[in-house]
Structure 1
């Protein structure tokens, strides 16, 4: 497992490249998209599209 150095503030590219490796190794994934207690599955946006900003319809 990659060892993450303690960092305060910005990181340089040499340090930044180890973070995705550490996240993958730890098995961390993104949480599902949700609004309160409604969870959206992939493709829901095509079924229930949101109106575009400035749209009148």
Structure 2
């Protein structure tokens, strides 16, 4: 069994990254802008799970 990806929407991706890094998460690549609609990134949690974060741009 497995999964391809899990993604969460967040209000402030920079703040969320800062808080998750303090708990052992590592940014994979960089935060990118997608079609002036979202800021997106992936993190790897302390257990190794890959998680996507998305902030809607308003």
The two structures have a TM-score, normalised by structure 2, of: 0.22
Q: Which has the higher helix share?
A: 1
Q: Which has the higher strand share?
A: 2
The two structures have a TM-score, normalised by structure 1, of: 0.22
Largest Rg, 1 or 2: 1
